[in-house]
Structure 1
Amino acid sequence: MSELPDWMYPPREEGWFAEDLDGLPNLPRHTELVDGALVFMMSPQRSWHSRVISGLTRALEPQLPDGVEVEREMTIRLDKRNRPEPDLVVTTAAYEPDRTWFAPSDVVLVVEVVSPESAHRDRTVKVRKYAEAGIPHYWRIEEETGLPVAHVFELEESTSAYAPAGIFRGTLDRPVPFPVKIDLDRLDKPLRRTG
């Protein structure tokens, strides 16, 4: 029987710390840290999930104001025991080629595209943690009758909790965190090539 990798054995009673994530060899792709525990994407990613992330990235990029970037699948270091990996992070942090995480203060919007294996974390655990970290906007994209639906939340700073700002079908049209308009029904469609 082969030896188990080191990351199968937490080094301390409270589990792993955020800085441990960068030093653990051979971690599976898309490993997150939630409450000191390593969380892996164990099931294969669905094509719908991947296409929606790509479609959102393409839709957001031309609408971003100067000094704001969108990154896919990068962790946010919420505190010493939490480094979740949302599907998209919209950030004011300057580009650094060797960056592996963002600070919450640099994040203006987090987007999670819900998959069956992540649904509980995306709807409960992560949304609470993002709000408590002070991230001002959270979008959760769900599949409804085959189409993307955006559940949009804004941070209520006095309670450090998100308030629902709407459920959008067909078109997502919002004035914050910057003016943005997205054709949701096109997100999972391939980019049409011309020529």
Structure 2
Amino acid sequence: MQSLAPAEFEVFREFTIDIDAQNRPEPDVILFRADAWTESTQTRFPSSAVTLAVEVVSTDSVSRDRETKPLKYARAKIPHYWRVESEKGLAVVHAFELEPTVEAYTSVGIFRERMKVSAPFPMDLDVTATKARPSAE
């Protein structure tokens, strides 16, 4: 994803998001505004700088990634949330966008082979090239 992201964004793996004093989740991948990267020793980003949070579901993270984290990300007004799951050993991307009037995510698609979206920026991804983690089914 990093090579596809426009220059105004950065992509980091396993980096902390500051939602509030009690909520500092660490998604598997985040897409954030490049201007939020202020110093090389930075260890977290404010949720207001995050455009996309991606969670890769594993056996021990199913309820957190399907239930807990999406609620926290939505309350923090992170515009996009993707959940990557294993389906028969293949990666499947569940993509969500924040519906601002209710501050909750709505599905924009489930992608098994090809993921073509216009937001958070236009991209066309080959989902079959993504290795899935062990099944959480």
Common topology (TM > 0.5): yes
The secondary structure found in structure 2 opposite 1:154 is strand
User: Counterpart in 2 of 1:22?
Assistant: none
Alignment of 1:48-63 (within 5 A): 60-63=1-4
Q: 1:161 aligns with which of 99, 104, 107?
A: 104
Q: Residues of 2 paired with 1:127 and 1:159: CA distance?
A: 14
Q: Residues of 2 paired with 1:95 and 1:114: CA distance?
A: 30
Asked if residue 76 in structure 1 is aligned to residue 28 in structure 2, the reply is no
Q: Residues of 1 paired with 2:5 and 2:16: CA distance?
A: 20
Code of the aligned partner of 1:90: L
User: Counterpart in 2 of 1:134?
Assistant: 77
Alignment of 1:98-117 (within 5 A): 98-117=41-60
Distance 1:182 1:95, change over 3 A: farther
The secondary structure found in structure 2 opposite 1:173 is strand
Bigger proportion of residues as strand: 2
Count of residue pairs brought into register by the alignment: 130
Q: Residues of 2 paired with 1:157 and 1:76: CA distance?
A: 20
> Structure 2: which 5+ runs fail to align?
133-137
The secondary structure found in structure 2 opposite 1:98 is coil
Code of the aligned partner of 1:157: P
Percent of residue pairs identical: 47
Structure 1 residue 94, shift from structure 2 partner? 2.5
Code of the aligned partner of 2:18: R
Q: Residues of 2 paired with 1:136 and 1:109: CA distance?
A: 6
Asked if residue 147 in structure 1 is aligned to residue 90 in structure 2, the reply is yes
The secondary structure found in structure 2 opposite 1:117 is helix
Code of the aligned partner of 2:53: V
Q: Relative contact order (C-alpha < 8 Å, sep 6+): which is higher?
A: 2
Q: Residues of 1 paired with 2:99 and 2:124: CA distance?
A: 23
Code of the aligned partner of 2:10: E
Please report the TM-score for the alignment, with normalisation by the length of structure 1: 0.65
User: Counterpart in 2 of 1:179?
Assistant: 122
How large is the Cα RMSD of the aligned pairs? 1.2
Deviations 1:140-176 (A, max 9, x none): 0000011100000000011110011110110111000
Code of the aligned partner of 2:4: Q
Q: Residues of 2 paired with 1:122 and 1:70: CA distance?
A: 19
Asked if residue 87 in structure 1 is aligned to residue 40 in structure 2, the reply is no
The secondary structure found in structure 2 opposite 1:150 is strand
> Structure 1: which 5+ runs fail to align?
1-59, 190-195
Distance 1:62 1:81, change over 3 A: same
User: Counterpart in 2 of 1:33?
Assistant: none
Please report the TM-score for the alignment, with normalisation by the length of structure 2: 0.91
Structure 1 residue 68, shift from structure 2 partner? 0.4
